[in-house]
Structure 1
Amino acid sequence: MKRLNTFQKIIVLLSILLVPVILIYTYSNRVSMSIIQQELIQLTLNQQNFLTEQLDMISEQLWKSAYITMSDPNALMLQHPSITKPGYDTFKTIEALEHHLRLQSTSYSWQYELTLFSPVTGMYITTDSNRQFDNAYFSEHFYTNWSYVKLDSGAGQQYYFVRHMTKPFTLDDHPEELSLILEAAIPASNIAQMMEQFAAGRSGEPMFYHPDYGGITRHLADFEGTDHLQGLLSDYPFEGNGYEIVRSGGQKYLMNYTESTWPGWYLVDFVPLKTVIASLNQSLMWFYFMMALLLLIGIGFAVIIYRSVQRPMLQLIKGVRRLKQGNYAFRLPVNGQSEFHYLFSEFNRMSEETQELIEKVYVSQLRIRDATLKQLQSQINPHFLYNNFAFIQSMTQMGNREAVIAFTQHLSQYYRYTTRTEMTTTRLDEELELIQSYLEIHRMQIPRLDYDIDVPRHLRCWSIPRLIIQPVVENAIVHGIENSLNDGLIRVTGRMEETHAVITVEDNGGGIRAEDLEHLRSRMNRTMDENMGCGLWNIHQRLLLYNEDGNGLSFAPSELGGLKVVLRFRVQEEKSLNKHKHSEGSE
């Protein structure tokens, strides 16, 4: 088989490097889009649930005020025959009822009309002076539940949500046999105003929808667009709460719907997906463009390398072979002012500086080792910031000020610690404070999570590598607690074991199979590759560098039911001395 020249090798190498990067980035982009879509669905459903609860609360308050009105002594006088006779008492009763109804109809944020009618006397008191009421009206319009009907008003016919309360209470459609009827009529414009408030600052199009009556939209809605969207809902099988990706007018929408306590009514919200994923698509196109540009630059660079490097490289290889044979008197010809001029000059001095070079290489290896330790530490950074912002936004919208304050305090303590990259070591108690803040952040988002940190005081003053325990706790939450529906427990304990301080992290998650546990142990001692998660592997490598005695991470099943991860830290002489002094002081 013919050997590849330098130019061909560079092209192959570029392809090997770029193809995995493109595939990984494309996959990451799709995962990000899926995560954003799920977060958008959950956020919208939470907002809709809050809005429907607010709607139900207001309607319930209105109905309770109607019950209070029915119990008013003046309301009971409306069914008495004496109310039809003119007189001072009749005038005072009617005036008191009118004042009471006006007060009730203006006591809430919604505008609504109240009417009190007695089929016995034919008398009625109402806050709507443009409407007339009699037995014939209530025979045609009598509703024991909130019903959506069109009624006459001063501005023409308008839609109302109407419900009637009776005395005595009945569900029969015979209002002429009753003593008192109270009608509460809520204009549909209140719902439209609520939709307007819900849509403020958002890209979605909300509506209050009933399969038989259509939708109530906000006043400033695009009526042509909402008509298209309502056409999608005419035959849609609503069942409780849910969501679906729909298409209308050549555009995709995320449709979320929430069922209201008002029979048959749903709060539906359409969010155009292009406003959500446009930036991600643009970022993906820029990435493909940059990859293509990088490939072209690499090919041009390979051509230059082929012309100006390959021949000098052959001479350099010849000189290396002579040195390998022990011929330190061999010299390379130094001609011209090419890039290899300096290299050849230095090569000619190599035989005289062999010992010095070995010492330099040794020092360089020590520096590389320290740089590797810092590089491994810098890889361990939190990637859950967008979840924290979503939680803060949700708590702010719910008005939970105390939760926002507590959450941001823990978050600031967490990032204050993790961003101090100038130090490679820290005290154990500072690392435990970081873990406590990290667990508090998760416990506020996952109420079923609990934790227990039990590390003796005399161990807390020892020095350990920074950010060495937190990734293990994060792994327990992600792979143990979040995958279980039961109450979660994270336990962090510490003890002294001969010449090592031992920290144990356990969880009560679903556990791990025996074959998977053996596979995890074997992965710790393999070389890092693109198919392997870097979290626990990084911790294992950092422990090996720190201890210098072969002790890294170890794994075993936990008594709690999940996984137990053990970290061992070799105690230096000065640490052992501190421990001894502490023990004498305790005695």
Structure 2
Amino acid sequence: MHSLIHKLNISLFKKIISVFLIVTAPIFILGIYIRNWGASTVREELSKSSTAQIEFYLNQLEKEIERLKILQYTCLNDESLNRLAVQYSIMSDYEIVSNLKQLQSRLITIAYSSSYVKNVSAHIFSIHKTISSTRGVDPLDPKAYERTKDAAGLTGAQIIRYEDRLYLTTVYPSDKTGSNSSYVIEIELNQDAFNEDMEQFNIYPDSGSYLIDLTNRKEIAMANTGKILHSDSILEDFATTHQSGTSLRKIDSFRYYSVYARSDYLNMLLLRYLPENLVFTPMRNFTNWIWIFVMVSILVIVIFTLTMNRFINRPIKKLVEVFRQVENGNLQISLNTDDVESKEFAYLYVRFNKMVDSLNMLIDQVYKQKILTQRAELKQLQAQIKPHFLYNSFFIINTMAQTGDDNLIEFTNHLGEYYRYLTRNAADIIPLHEEIEHARTYTSILSMRFTKNLTVEFGFCPEEFEQYPVPRLIIQPLIENAFEHAAEKRMKDRIISVSFEIREERLHITVEDNGTSLSDEELIKLQKTLVLQPDDGEVTALININRRLKLQYDELSGVVLDRSPLGGLGVELILGPRRE
């Protein structure tokens, strides 16, 4: 035994080492995979978040410029503007001043509607005046013609740069050249607002943001926190791009990670750049932490393996050994609590020893008590059946005597045989052929009482089951039940059938009737009662017999209820392998 345990310990040690190697290898592989996956994920997420941020900004800027253009076009139809452009020469001074104030008020409203607006002007060429939201009424700016002509050839937002200023100019629809336009609404954009927008993107050192006008190839706004890239260098790399994206680039000795997006409507490019080391330094730290994780994991696995072997595996092996001996019938075994260091296993060892002692002391008593209990239940169930037929028999004899029935003597002979069967042998278990003969005697009594209105079809038991041991009184009560609850309620053509059939090495005894009083609801109620088998109250014959069969045979044996092909109730007794 000692050498066997020694071999088991060596085998267990090899298994622990093998598991250790198997577990360690995936950790290394997982560490490398996590590192590469993490680097890829960081780059992807950085690209997605940064690109989404600048695309969102450009999208919002496009919407804002589009809104300002709508206000421009709407203002072209202003009633005061049209009067000043067309009726100025015939208007009174009061009308001129009133319309000028109304027009300026509308221009001020447009100017205050957006932080991107610096000034809104209405150039009225027919009267050579310019009405401004900030300066009021001035002589016509002669350069307005030039700016208007420049905007006429543009598409999209029609933003023009003139003398380092940005203008949003709309041309009167009747003349694309601007030379004969009566008036123009012009919005000067606030470049300081664009610079403030660029500042919000710069949250890292040595980073920067550029908003570049691709029409004039100049920056509109820029913001830096350190290293400055020249716009010419940026334009060389990004001016021809037509989509958003990210890239890693180098200018001189400076390597940077760029995120860019382009707006075709505004014809602008928005670029953010970050130093390369700022982006990838966290990945290097992440790699170091991965290796630390691998080393710590290996150390934890080693410590855990040794601890598990000492405090859990060895005590469990000992428990398994003694349980196998108990399974083999050895109840003279005990465990030494001094062999374990864990209080939990010491408690299990003590409880195991007490369990074995209790088994040795109680197994005979419990087993014998169970047998005595089953016999007592069988006696009690049979005692409930024996008086039942006697009550009915007295009533039948009384009726036959009163009517002077010639079958009275034969009836009493059958009745004597019936009760001799009940009293001559006190055995609980009898051969099946004796139980069948007893049931035939009972049906003979019924046939003598109802000679004209009762037909009993009694089949023959298969020869191989004639000596099969069965509990007493399991067939006759079912015939009696069929007669009392079904056939007796019919005035004529009463049929009771008893048949035998072997299916899957089990004997099926079926008692059927042609009663008409059994409803589907009553059948379902009987089936439920048979399954539940209540312990309180009066125990019916069906429940009585079902319990006896399940005590005597296996769990598949017993009573099954269903609708009979004859129309009444069909009761099937199933006899399976007998319990020891």
TMscore range, shorter length:
0.3 to 0.5
Normalised TM-score (structure 1):
0.43
Normalised TM-score (structure 2):
0.43
Highest Rg: 1 or 2?
2
